[in-house]
Structure 1
């Protein structure tokens, strides 16, 4: 007998025999009866990660011709195909071309490791080609990871991504960094560098705009090298934050070893439309942290970069730096149009060494490396305020998991807004630029722990900037509504993603009332604290809404339930994006991708209808609001921080 959940070998053999007997007898008009339609509908409702049993496969194969108008059925049908059988594979490929156009979620599923057939993956890429760049940027992180599952470096997906990048500067810059951070991966590094070579060649052939984009990437590489060098120098000196700030300012001053940062004109990697016009050394500071993250303040151009202008990045960059960066790029640019072969000549490690050598020639920079984070700015803010742009650079931690979680929060925010539900979230941007460093968008805010220590209540903190004697609790109604909405959004999203280690130091509050979370080192139910609640909903947050009997708390519960049901409708998309991260450097997923998918599926409760889901969410809110253990843990955490 086969173990529970496994397919019976005898049944598989019988099903294969039955299909071989009937394969030649094709009845294109065969229709399912009412019972068979019910069973087919049940199969189509299964989540992407659910394996199909032999009976379900036989059912879909038998009625495949009647399903071609059902776009949701294609991914399930393709799972039924025995691709090792040439005749069956040919039938499936022909039928796939006749199928109704599929959604993005289905296309992403077809790029997962479950689908190896090149024609199937090409069909997925053809679907994505109809989408604009703004939508594709939401999925770019996963599309890069999907390259792991292609049969060749020179795949249809690789050429598609490179082609889009050649026509869109922001797309190209993000693609560069997403590939660059994977070069050290022992399994994926070679392919990542091969596709990167294709990007370089495509930009070289894209005329003046392509040359400007490649110059921008070289300057960004040089900037990150300088920042890595500064961070390394500060840590080796073992300075405290105040002295580290002084030393950092000396290093970027006119006579310092990294003085070019004060004059470097470069697109902001986090937001490539923003042109940075040099660092403001006296405004930069180091945070009090073991990793000494650096708050960087840049001058910013008042207008977005015009990439079509004759010299979009014109300005004073050290000639040595530019020449050195160009030297690093030369081996790639000279590789020619056959880019998969070019990549074989220069591995990711070799290219990284070349970039480091170039940076060293430009100044006293150390080898590139990078990743970590802390806080950032609202993704919707398109232009920096008052000609200034503030970001955080941190070296010593891998930011890729934070990047992934924040990408999912940003995507969920977009899904809610499509349904006219704006929960005023703060999906700040994190961009790893290596395996242990990166940039974080800065969001002016303070942790709830400090706010409560200094002001005692959230109301008193908000009253500093949002006071209104005629408003609720003496505050502007809009600020209070912003707080309620953002609390609901983050409660639901952190619950779905299983974000752990929640305490008042990683819950931030902005002056306009936006609450948001930072630091996502624990996801998918992993938590270092005992008996964590389903979501972080502390007593002080409820009191800021007026207590559990207030109308604002009722609104909070209503927003939470509405958001939960909207996101459940996009479960296939969310699950597919997680599935594509199966091989990524995200420990919570990579160690056991199947278990990660099951945990996520459990949170989404796809077996519930909307009414049952509302009851579920209400129960979770009640459990979180009354949980005693988090209060004990929070008190312990505060004492530990005090004595540290």
Structure 2
């Protein structure tokens, strides 16, 4: 077989154990060519090279094999050193079947570690070095020192503490004996764990203690933003192009001043003519394949924005001098001159006025712009966007800015203590009774974030009262602070120094992009340090997302997450996968890659475990691609044959589950594996569990769907379950595991001994048209699975779980609720799956809303709850009480859910991209209303769901018919 035959992943994965001919270039100048198995490891191939080279000339010129390393050209056309000799050649997948043997240089251990980290995070460390960025270099140095110190501390832990780190305990939430539903347990409660070693049993005691539980110049908070617009139209022969440039100085979401400029070009036939419109002189124009390329040089003196809150007033002239300004547009569109123009954003970019050293920027900066359109059309800027440049410089519009050097020495942002020292908080203000009542009214309204001018003045006047009596409302005070007024900024930052620490439910809100001030973010992290490990895991998804709002690589949030991840391997496991799953996103690839590198250097031993999981996921992706894109129709038997190959069996067995590192996926049970018949052909993989011979562990690998929305929904359901349990209400929820592991890839936990309502109904009926209306199907199925006395317990499980999911799906606005994504376990627990639509985004067909009920509560559900007796109203009223009690608990914690969803805006989910998308959640949780008002509204929704349930049955019937008619 000729060299280079294997170039694509599909070619490498489909040929089984077939031999391939490889070319080997030796440092002695000798050329070798012989066949190797695609499943051979690099180590075995090296042994074969030495054996074959021993029969060739100049063999005596070769030294010890360990002094050499193979290199190849990889799939990204880069030279790669194959230091990891346990890798198979099929996993290396060289672009051409050529390996070159070269002498090792440098520290082999360091190079091996670097190779392992690069392979694991999916990003070469040489990319960081190629940045030639001082901020990147200093961050890597600082984080490496920090993480290696943490690693050394961990090595010196006593064995009990080391066990706690390596195998953190998972405790079920339970109701607290403390008043008011506090989540804190009694101090001093101890947990006894029996640890079994190879040759003996030994017990040790773990103690579970629940107590573990701008300032001048705007510093890093101030961003300079630009958005460019274009007019969109079919390309005519004659056209006028007008491009508007808009600049705005923004603190968080607060505009501090803006100015605009316009330029246009007129084309008649083949002769473009350039016209200055306002403040801009266009000096160059060229056209290339329908893309407009204009360049503008030396603007006139720009309109002066409002003065910035500078420490020294004379520096405010910075923005009134003649600034050379350059813009290079690579995107544009044309429109007929007589039909007018309509603004449509084409590119944006954000940058900081101060660098990571707190020094005011000077000189020229070429900013590669982002082509994506901001989601909030009411504001054509993108204040929550990244401050990183677009790395795709070849295809991006470039914006060249020159910051003039206004003084001979660098201008630094003043230290915090010097900023607030002369500006404490003035004289004490004693509010009148009316003022205090008005203040209390504002503070009590949880859904109140827009204020009238008189309310803003009152809040600012009584800011000390807010600190002393309403500290959890800090965000409201920050929102009305005048960040373009130096005195107010100094007073707010000074007030923060004496602000009491907030519970996590309120502190999390302050990590939103609306609060970029470093003093605010430092205060927030100080509050979050009180979180227990279990609580931190509960909010980890959001904490990773808000990293995108940080202005600089080195920030308190990054250090906090790394410190906790290096102190608890479970936190480290999920931090790794949450970061790794978005490493492909250009705007965060650099930041997330650097954090992943730092974590790996601080936990070298975890690299091996994570690499095994990464290798298994790679094989799952390869299997999925073969199933989805194979030249011939793939059968389940073909899939099983692929899995039985040695390389697949080895990669897919004996690893920790990415879904839950406490679960070991021992031996894959090939005969039980299959792929499902849905559009993306998910893989259904089953594993033997040697700890329980009759039990098995199952995972579903999905390739082609973004699982982050499912992951978020299940996180919220898990949080609801925890809140209910702390109040003594166990609604038997099943928030199964779900983890996004990459670009539209991820894993879902298989819930064993369960089936969909659709299957149960179809198996109990003669036709799909009548199946949805068979109210006895569910009860009869439960009777068949739970004979005798077990039936009552199964119905109780069904009643509790049905109540929980009725409330959860209503609050979260879960859509697309057909009978194929509602399931029941044989033990009676009902649960929902597949959360592709939420926050009230219900499915429509032909402009008609297919889902017309607040949540799913059909008469066959009621039939099971009432144990098959129509007059059993006592059981149904108890079910209604469960629903109402569960809803009231969620309403009391409504702010937490709103804050967590708000933090996920950075994720870029289609149905959660702006504050408007969260309005559904605020309405369903009745924020701003009393508990009685909220409960009254829920009762109306409950009755509506019951009364209109026949519409759900019709929708289910249509779904079943459509599925049966599918080719």
TM-score by length of 2: 0.52
Confirm or deny that 1:633 pairs with 2:942: no
Confirm or deny that 1:233 pairs with 2:626: yes
Distance change >3 Å, CA 385–CA 508, structure 1 → 2: farther
Q: Specify the alignment match of 2:459 in structure 1.
A: 60
What does the per-residue CA deviation read over 1:102-148, in whole Å, with 9 as the maximum and x for residues that have no partner?
11121110001110101101111111111111111110000000101
Q: Specify the alignment match of 1:421 in structure 2.
A: 729
Q: Specify the alignment match of 1:449 in structure 2.
A: 758
Query: Within 5 Å, which residues of 2 pair with 1:15-30?
Result: 28-30=427-429
**Distance in 1 between the 2:690 and 2:476 partners?**
50
Q: Specify the alignment match of 2:688 in structure 1.
A: 299
Q: Specify the alignment match of 1:407 in structure 2.
A: 715
Contact 1:270 1:439 in 2 (8 A): yes
Q: Specify the alignment match of 2:14 in structure 1.
A: none
Distance change >3 Å, CA 140–CA 449, structure 1 → 2: same
Per-residue deviation, 1:519: 0.8
User: Match of 1:508, SS?
Assistant: strand
Q: Specify the alignment match of 2:437 in structure 1.
A: 38
**Distance in 2 between the 1:568 and 1:239 partners?**
54
Distance change >3 Å, CA 83–CA 176, structure 1 → 2: same
Contact 2:448 2:928 in 1 (8 A): no
Per-residue deviation, 1:86: 3.3
Q: RCO greater where, 1 or 2, for CA within 8 Å and sep 6 or more?
A: 1
Confirm or deny that 1:621 pairs with 2:938: no
Contact 1:284 1:296 in 2 (8 A): yes
Q: Specify the alignment match of 2:900 in structure 1.
A: 577
Contact 2:425 2:495 in 1 (8 A): no
Q: Which blocks of at least 5 consecutive residues in structure 1 are unaligned? A: 1-5, 17-22, 204-210, 303-383, 470-474
Confirm or deny that 1:476 pairs with 2:791: yes
Contact 1:287 1:293 in 2 (8 A): yes
Per-residue deviation, 1:389: 1.9
Distance change >3 Å, CA 27–CA 152, structure 1 → 2: closer
Confirm or deny that 1:487 pairs with 2:876: no
Distance change >3 Å, CA 45–CA 189, structure 1 → 2: farther
Contact 1:432 1:439 in 2 (8 A): yes
Distance change >3 Å, CA 515–CA 28, structure 1 → 2: farther
**Distance in 2 between the 1:431 and 1:42 partners?**
42
Q: Specify the alignment match of 2:607 in structure 1.
A: 214
Query: Within 5 Å, which residues of 2 pair with 1:77-88?
Result: 77-88=477-488
**Distance in 2 between the 1:120 and 1:403 partners?**
29
Confirm or deny that 1:602 pairs with 2:911: no
User: Match of 1:588, SS?
Assistant: coil
> Would you say how many aligned residue pairs link Structure 1 and Structure 2?
529
Contact 2:424 2:490 in 1 (8 A): no
What does the per-residue CA deviation read over 1:75-96, in whole Å, with 9 as the maximum and x for residues that have no partner?
2222232233333222222211
**Distance in 2 between the 1:276 and 1:39 partners?**
59
**Distance in 1 between the 2:936 and 2:871 partners?**
17
Confirm or deny that 1:136 pairs with 2:570: no
**Distance in 1 between the 2:854 and 2:424 partners?**
54
**Distance in 2 between the 1:230 and 1:107 partners?**
44
Distance change >3 Å, CA 98–CA 27, structure 1 → 2: same
**Distance in 1 between the 2:737 and 2:498 partners?**
40
Contact 2:911 2:917 in 1 (8 A): yes
Distance change >3 Å, CA 25–CA 451, structure 1 → 2: closer
Q: Which blocks of at least 5 consecutive residues in structure 2 are unaligned? A: 1-252, 257-305, 310-421, 765-775
Per-residue deviation, 1:194: 2.4
Distance change >3 Å, CA 387–CA 131, structure 1 → 2: same
Query: Within 5 Å, which residues of 2 pair with 1:137-152?
Result: 137-152=537-552
Distance change >3 Å, CA 385–CA 180, structure 1 → 2: farther
User: Match of 1:57, SS?
Assistant: helix
* Higher alpha-carbon deviation: 46-55 or 542-551: 46-55
Distance change >3 Å, CA 536–CA 239, structure 1 → 2: farther
Confirm or deny that 1:289 pairs with 2:609: no
Among residues 604, 623, 636, which one is paired with 1:245 in the alignment? Answer: 636
Query: Within 5 Å, which residues of 2 pair with 1:304-383?
Result: none
Among residues 508, 516, 523, which one is paired with 1:116 in the alignment? Answer: 516
Per-residue deviation, 1:275: 2.4
Q: Specify the alignment match of 1:104 in structure 2.
A: 504
Contact 2:447 2:927 in 1 (8 A): no
Distance change >3 Å, CA 147–CA 52, structure 1 → 2: farther
Q: Specify the alignment match of 1:518 in structure 2.
A: 833
Q: Specify the alignment match of 2:858 in structure 1.
A: 538
User: Match of 2:739, SS?
Assistant: strand
What does the per-residue CA deviation read over 1:303-326, in whole Å, with 9 as the maximum and x for residues that have no partner?
xxxxxxxxxxxxxxxxxxxxxxxx
User: Match of 1:258, SS?
Assistant: helix
User: Match of 1:274, SS?
Assistant: strand
**Distance in 2 between the 1:239 and 1:25 partners?**
75
- Bigger radius of gyration among the two: 2
**Distance in 1 between the 2:710 and 2:701 partners?**
14
Q: Specify the alignment match of 1:277 in structure 2.
A: 666
Contact 1:252 1:260 in 2 (8 A): no
Q: Specify the alignment match of 1:588 in structure 2.
A: 911
Confirm or deny that 1:75 pairs with 2:395: no
What does the per-residue CA deviation read over 1:559-615, in whole Å, with 9 as the maximum and x for residues that have no partner?
11111111011111101101111121311012xx12112121111112332222222
**Distance in 2 between the 1:219 and 1:200 partners?**
14
More strand by share: 2
Q: Specify the alignment match of 2:368 in structure 1.
A: none
Q: Specify the alignment match of 2:964 in structure 1.
A: 642
User: Match of 2:839, SS?
Assistant: coil
User: Match of 1:587, SS?
Assistant: coil
**Distance in 2 between the 1:507 and 1:223 partners?**
30
Per-residue deviation, 1:256: 4.7
* Higher alpha-carbon deviation: 494-503 or 546-555: 546-555
